[in-house]
Structure 1
Amino acid sequence: MKTTKYPLISIITLNYNQVELTCQLLDSLRAITYPNIETIVVDNASAINPTDTIRECFPEVKFIRNEENLGFAGGNNVGIRAAKGKYILMLNNDTEVMTDFLEPLVATMEQNPKIGVCSPKIQFYHTKNRLQYAGSTAINPYRVASYAIGYQQPDQGQFDHQGGRTHLAHGAAMLVSSEAIELAGLMEESFFLYYEELDWCERIKRAGFEIHFVPQSLVLHKESMTVGKQSALQLYYKTRNRVLFARRNFRHIKLFIALVYLLFLVAPVRLGKFLVARNFRSFRVYLKAISWHCIWLQPFSNFQKS
């Protein structure tokens, strides 16, 4: 990439009660070699206002504080509306980046205008050279599940020559073209947390774009630092939004089979396991997530794919 052809990249990260973690990411971004970026931090109404800390320590950052927690989708949408870049990089605040991670992502996008989204190779931060993402399989339309290629494998370079088109990007680090956003729209905010980036990828593909994996770029992910590992928040939104994803993206027999599988096979088994283990809190959380989809509370037509 010639030095005269570095398009502006808007880097957006969300903060929610984790200002120290966010500052670690911002320190990491200060060291990158890509010369044309704007960094936007969106605070989702943290209990302790981080405005002074961010502005004092990182005066180059554009800081936006929401009056309420808008979730991953809503918070990122606030950042996207404020962004000026040709490409928008959504980057989790629990990540750290290599100094040269951005150039391969931008070069990939610049070489092929059909690419709407690309993601780097992602390793777990706390487990040296352990992969989290090296591309993705498609969402199985009946089980409503996909898996990240290479997940938990030692990174021995086995995917470094397998870059290119993939089915889904990774929400921890995804570079999206402003053109794709203009055509596909912003992230669906009813998800709040989890599955929103998968739904977005599907909409971007329906708008005529491709998703790509770029192994020459590397991001380290601390994973689940913000919401907590195996939290009630995770259980609720992952359960609720798996069904919501199906309702928004599937049709006819595929939708029928997916709903039967999720509501009449998976749900009774999960609820039964919680009862046997006397885990009544998780039982209530899971039941609440499924109940959110009651037809008289959430009209089916509200969630048809766009």
Structure 2
Amino acid sequence: MPLLSIITVNYNQPEATLQLLDSISACAPECSYELILVDNGSGPESVEQFKLLNKDIQFIRSEKNLGFAGGNNLGIRQATGKYLFLVNNDTEFTPGLADQLIATLERNPQAGMVSPKIRYYDEKEIIQYAGFTPMNYFTCRNRCIGQWEVDKGQYDNYEGETGFVHGAAMMVSRQALVRAGMMAENYFLYYEEMDWCDRISQAGFKIMLNTRALIFHKESLAVGKKSALKEYFMNRNRILFIRRNAGGLQRTFFWLYFVTFVAMRNTFAYLKNGDTAFIAVFWRAVWWNLTQRRDSTKLGFDLK
């Protein structure tokens, strides 16, 4: 039984995935580990490239795109490690990354999840993530600590609690997984890791950050930095997250805030930037939440 299971999901990005696998090999954990690659309904060209991989890599193929949570959950079901490290396929490891995160979970028995510091791959001195502030459930707003700052060591050597892990690189203990369950798959994309953090916290575990561990991230490689897909699921799932995790008073206030302030602000932004097609996408996201149960598996968006 390995101490660590490393899980990554590919969707039509074989080159990025192979680069990640090379970085894992170059910065391999000192502990025993298994590597699980899930192909999430990619075209045949991805599958052909993965057939040439080392036989020690466990390859799982889904004929359908199951989304971020669904693809990772496929890997989780096959994983046997005490700790599971879920990493985006558009990330690259650095030396000591996994070992540092394991050490955090080993030193803190009440820790259920931990993320490393994340810097942008294209601008390697710029921070993407050094923790999250707690969520304001009245507005569904919080802050990503350190984002866009030049890394001058201002967040180094921190090992402690944070509001949420980052979905690009998150390690979870099997104990927390057993108690809280896997990620909710009806999010499909965005907010599922925050929902998971809330459930793991409610199960009695701490959400941690270790900035001595570092990973690089090629952000939004999968869905594009600006797309209808991203716009739809970011808005749909922001509402869904509140429906699933906030109290009654918080939900009421949030709806008023969202359909007045957020809707007006986003509409003006779409018009200003020439993204008028996103107006219909935004209201489709709102309509999904008005017409679907919070456990609905209907996406409300054509992925083709």
TM-score, with structure 1 as normaliser = 0.92
The answer as to 2:186 corresponding to 1:163 is: no
Q: What are the superposed Cα offsets for residues 241-273 of structure 1, whole Å, 9 maximum, x if unpaired?
A: 000000000012111111111123211332344
1:3 is aligned to: none
Of the structure 1 ranges 198-207 and 281-290, higher mean CA displacement relative to structure 2 is found in 281-290
Residue pair 1:17, 1:48 contacting (<8 A) in 2 also: no
- The two structures, once aligned, show a CA RMSD in angstroms of 1.7
Match of 2:141 in 1: 145
Long gaps (5+) in structure 1: 1-5
1:207 pairs with 2:203 = yes
Structure 1 counterpart of 2:160, one-letter code: G
Q: 8 Å contact 1:246–1:259 — kept in the other structure? A: no
Amino acid at match of 2:186: S
Shift of 1:278: 5.2
Query: Separation in 1 of the partners of 2:274 and 2:8?
Result: 38
CA change 1:277–1:131 in 2 (3 A) is: closer
3-state secondary structure, aligned to 1:73? helix
Cross-structure match for 2:127: 131
Q: Identity across aligned pairs (percent)? A: 44
Whether 2:282 is the aligned partner of 1:286: answer yes
Q: Which residue of 2 aligns with 1:26?
A: 21
Q: Distance in 2 between matches of 1:206 and 1:285?
A: 33
CA pair 46-33 structure 1, distance change in 2 beyond 3 A? closer
Query: Which contiguous aligned blocks of 4+ residues in structure 1 show a shift greater than 4 angstroms?
Result: 275-278, 300-303
Judge which range, 238-247 or 58-67, deviates more: 58-67
Could you tell me how far apart the structure 2 residues matched to 1:275 and 1:151 are? 27
Query: What's the CA shift for 1:293?
Result: 1.1
* 2:3–2:32 Cα contact (<8 Å) kept: yes
The 3 A distance-change label for structure 1 pair 278 and 133 is closer
CA 162–257 in structure 1, closer or farther in 2 if over 3 Å, else same: same
The Cα of 1:275 is off from its aligned counterpart by 4.5
**Counterparts of 1:277 and 1:11 in 2: how far apart (Å)?**
40
**Deviation larger for 16-25 or 42-51:** 42-51
Which of 188, 194, 200 aligns to 1:192? It is 188
Amino acid in the other structure paired with 1:216: R
Gaps of 5+ in 2: 298-304
Q: Partner of 1:298 in structure 2? A: 292
Task: Give the AA of the match of 1:167.
Answer: G
Q: Distance in 1 between matches of 2:90 and 2:268?
A: 34
Between Structure 1 and Structure 2, how many residues are aligned? 296
Give distance in 2, aligned partners of 1:228 and 1:13.
19
Structure 2 letter corresponding to 1:298: Q
- What is the TM-score normalised by the length of structure 2? 0.93
8 Å contact kept, 2:67–2:189:
yes
